[in-house]
């Protein structure tokens, strides 16, 4: 019985993550194409316009 509960919790969490990512893509995520999933991505987004203008 506890096994079914654990499996249900895992499936529920996976569904939550998939729906959240889908919603982020639908909303256009953050400004420079970062998904916001990692700290390094959001930190590098501020420097993207500088890199593009140097080319």
For residue 24, the model assigns a pLDDT of 84
Whether residue 49 contacts residue 55, with contact meaning beta carbons closer than 8 Å, is answered with no
Contacts of 4 (CB under 8 A, 6+ apart): none
Q: What is the pLDDT of residue 39?
A: 57
pTM of the predicted protein model: 0.47
Q: What is the pLDDT of residue 54?
A: 47
pLDDT along the chain (55 residues), means of 10: 95 96 78 56 54 49
């Amino acid at each position: 019985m506890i096994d079914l509960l654990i499996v249900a919790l895992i499936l529920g969490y996976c569904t939550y993550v998939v729906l959240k990512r889908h919603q982020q893509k639908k909303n256009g995520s953050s400004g420079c194409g970062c998904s916001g999933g990692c700290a390094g991505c959001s930190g590098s987004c501020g420097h993207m316009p500088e890199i593009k203008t140097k080319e």
